[in-house]
Amino acid sequence: MDNLNLFFLIFGLSKQSSILDTLMIFGAEYLIYLAFLLAFTLIFKGSAEEKKSLLLVFLTLPIVVIFIKIIHLFFIEPRPFISYHISPLVSEGANASFPSRHAAIMSTLAFAYVYYNSKWALLFLFLMIWVGISRIYVGIHYPLDIIGGFIVGIVSLMIAKQIVKLLKLKFSHFS
């Protein structure tokens, strides 16, 4: 199944169940904030893995932003509601659709917890998937936008880890 058909399959489920619409609108717009609230809470209640995970996320987020800005210099995909004149369930600017910033940020968050083997990793992976699917469901992203966002987040996280390793090596002789 191609990107467009998968988009319409998922988006076609919208406006049929008010409960599902509410869950997906929450996932598309607000779940990212809840995920960060949970991550901040884990600073105080969690183990060293949770603290390291959030620190890695904060080191990675500027890389994510730069990466997405570079992609937008070369590739601008209009959002589905612009291209196909559909009514999304949430309001969104008419800016570039690929890659999804929400998906990139959520994958950064989730995979930082995976990297440090946190007991919270599965929950963050679930939240990442929920955000990704909901952004398609509400009509503001194509499936490839979400996958692209996940890849941007993971690659940015790997770059941040390499930067941390280089900084540790460079400054280890000062100890």
Q: Which of 145, 157, 139 is nearest to 86 (CA)?
A: 139
Give domain status of residue 137, yes or no: yes
Query: pTM of the full predicted structure?
Result: 0.93
Residue 130 structural domain: 16-84+94-174
Q: Which of 124, 12, 144, 3 is nearest to 57 (CA)?
A: 124
Give domain status of residue 63, yes or no: yes
Q: What's the domain count of the chain?
A: 1
Report how far residue 169's alpha carbon sits from residue 149's, in angstroms, rounded to the nearest whole number. Answer: 30
| 14: its two tokens | 């919208």
pLDDT category of residue 172 using cuts at 50, 70 and 90: low
Sheet strands (E) in the chain: none
Give domain status of residue 89, yes or no: no
Position 169 scores a pLDDT of 73
Give domain status of residue 4, yes or no: no
Using the predicted structure, report yes or no on whether residue 173 has a pLDDT greater than 90.
Answer: no
Give domain status of residue 167, yes or no: yes
| Average pLDDT of the residues in 90-99 | 93
Give domain status of residue 73, yes or no: yes
